[in-house]
A and B are shown apart, each in its own frame.
Chain A
Amino acid sequence: MEALEIFASASLWGAVLRISTPLIFGTLGALICERSGVLNLGIEGIMTLGAMVAWMTVYQGGSLWTGLIVAALCGGLFGLLHALLTVPLGLSQHVTGLGITLFASSLTYYVYRLSLPVSSSPPTIEPFQPLAIPGLSDIPFVGEALFTQTAPTYLAIFACLATAYILARTPLGLAVRMTGENPHAVEAQGLDPISIRIGAIITGSAFMAVGGAFLTTATFNSFFPTMVQGRGWVCIALVVFASWRPGKALLGALLFALFDAYQLRLQHVVESAIPYQVFLMVPYVLSIVALIVMSRRAKVPQALMAPYRKGER
């Protein structure tokens, strides 16, 4: 069976890690926001912004890492905007988030179009090159699949472990989780739920922007409108699938990327017997299925989407 042989190729498993990287960053970002009790639907726009800003930084002569840092800063800035509107002002998190997405993406396209004249083929940059880890990358199959990735992919996995540790094992993580469950209890502890939420949203949004930046600095080497292609929404679904846990988020993103990488290769096997759009639908359908399967068991942060106003019950 040709369709099954795909699983035996190291390139598939390498692609899984590559495809999952923006999803890992995005899902972690959304997860951090939601753990503090705020839904951030600005993700799609913030990822688009991160993709453009990082690309533009590199295109103007900055290094790739500077690009990622600038993306994180810009993402954090839009996170701050979302935070100010939803936390102290307590506006609808749904509508504000969508507003942030519309604003961030339209501003991104505007600035991109302003900086570069219209051309048929978008200008390119030199993207991140695969970084073979000495020793480990020599292991047959596994080495090629797992240990010859670009640096941001390793960073994504590290970020996931770090987030898991901070959320579960440190006072800071406890404060964030408690704010998502019961902000009044946080207040009683002498902490300020408002600043904790603002901090969490800024951090989460910076992660989202780095996820978007990976698309232009590693996956592709240019920026084009609508390149995020709903990955942000998929991340929001993955957070539910992961039941708001960073470890499961990593698994979810990998599983999702596996299907995505597989369908890409399966397209070449079946060729035109099935329209290619059917394959492209698979990731989206999967994220809906994931939502349905996990919705019953998901442990939602109790104060998610409930605005906190001091002295108001």
Chain B
Amino acid sequence: MRLERRDQTSLALIVAAPVAAIIVSLTLSGGLIALAGANPFDAYFEMVRGAFGSRLSISETLTRTTPLILTGLAAAVAFRAKLWNIGGEGQLYLGALIAAWLGHNMAAAVPAPLAIPIILLAGMVAGALLLLGPVLLRIRLGVDEVVTTLILNFIVLLFVSMMIEGPMKDPLAFGWPQSVAVESDVLLPKILARTRLHIGLIIALVAALLIWFVQTRTVFGLETKAAGLNQKAAAFAGIALGKTLLGVACISGALAGLAGAIEVTGLKGYVTLDLSPGYGYSGIVVAMLAGLNPLGVVITALFVAIVFVGADSMSRALGVPSFIADVIVSISLLTMLVSLLFTTYRVRR
């Protein structure tokens, strides 16, 4: 038995791959739910109800989707060029920290319509700069960016911890490590009244469209694809690999940084160490489930958000530990990798 490359992949197969992956993942996780003494069908029903059951829960799910779209795009853009940016979590936190600092200190000096774009842009710049270091190390010295970006996540979290316990500490938080809050007039406007859903969602959707446009309709987009498929061939075709990778790094880091800035200005208002429940890492799953397609990212981000929001309320109702959400998402990643393989290969005797 061996694997043989397919001559062509049908559209049906491309659509079937993530669906099959998710079904297998839900089946396997169902076994774990049964282990917790709950009926898996009840559990999944509770999850869907928790994510869609009311106006409030739908808005919560969409609020969760927002950062996942952005970190998913960050991973998708980078992975397409075979740039392994695993530092989304760190980039997100740095973007968030800058946003909180500017939102607290700048608001008085600059009118809000101008301040909000500046804050979001600063978050993007922070994220991009953080990724530029590891990418420059890779281009110039051949240092593997997987390890450097991963380790930077820990360094950034310690830095954030240092700032919110030190210079940026909120004096009114009673010793709780929490940053100063952004001024209320630079908070992102809400989309739905009496919910937490903010225009960050629209920004994220626009970002997905923009990335899709850049990847499919511009020279730079095709160059990143070429660099990802075969570096030697790309270099031979006259593509400046270093420049392309730096460009990709700027976009990828900026997207993750933007996710952080939006979480602060749209949702939390300040930075704590539990600002992100691993959005940077979940973004990798979102990107892979979408087959690195920027428009697909929107759908898979929604799926991951449903799992997380749904698992929270299911956990409350049935007593199944909410860690099941991470299990479902991580098994989906592994099953997706396998089913993606079978879209390009087939098994031959």
Contact = CB atoms under 8 A, between A and B. Distances in A.
Contacts, number: 128
What is the predominant secondary structure among interface residues of chain A facing chain B? helix
Interface in B335-349: 337-338, 341
Interface string B279-302: 001001100100000000000000
A107 B341 contact: no
Interface residues of A, number: 45
B317 interface: no
Contact of A281 (B159, B330, B338): B159
B142 interface: yes
B47 interface: no
B148 A291 contact: yes
Contacts of A236: 146-147
B327 A295 contact: no
A230 B84 contact: no
A310 interface: yes
A222 interface: no
B71 to A, nearest CB: 14
A291 B333 contact: no
A106 interface: yes
B142 A106 contact: no
Interface stretch (B119-127, B150-158, B211-219, B256-264): B150-158
Given A85-B334, A95-B288, A233-B150, A110 B143 contact: no
A309 interface: yes
B240 interface: no
Contacts of B185: none
Contacts of A81: 334
A179 B91 CA distance: 37
B142 A90 contact: no
Contact of A114 (B36, B143, B338): B36
Nearest to B84: A94
Contacts of B334: 81, 85, 96, 99-100, 103
10 contacts: A90-B3, A96-B337, A99-B337, A107-B327, A107-B330, A237-B151, A285-B155, A295-B137, A296-B142, A309-B2
List the 6 closest A-B pairs by CB distance, nearest first.
Answer: A106-B326, A102-B330, A113-B321, A277-B162, A103-B330, A110-B323
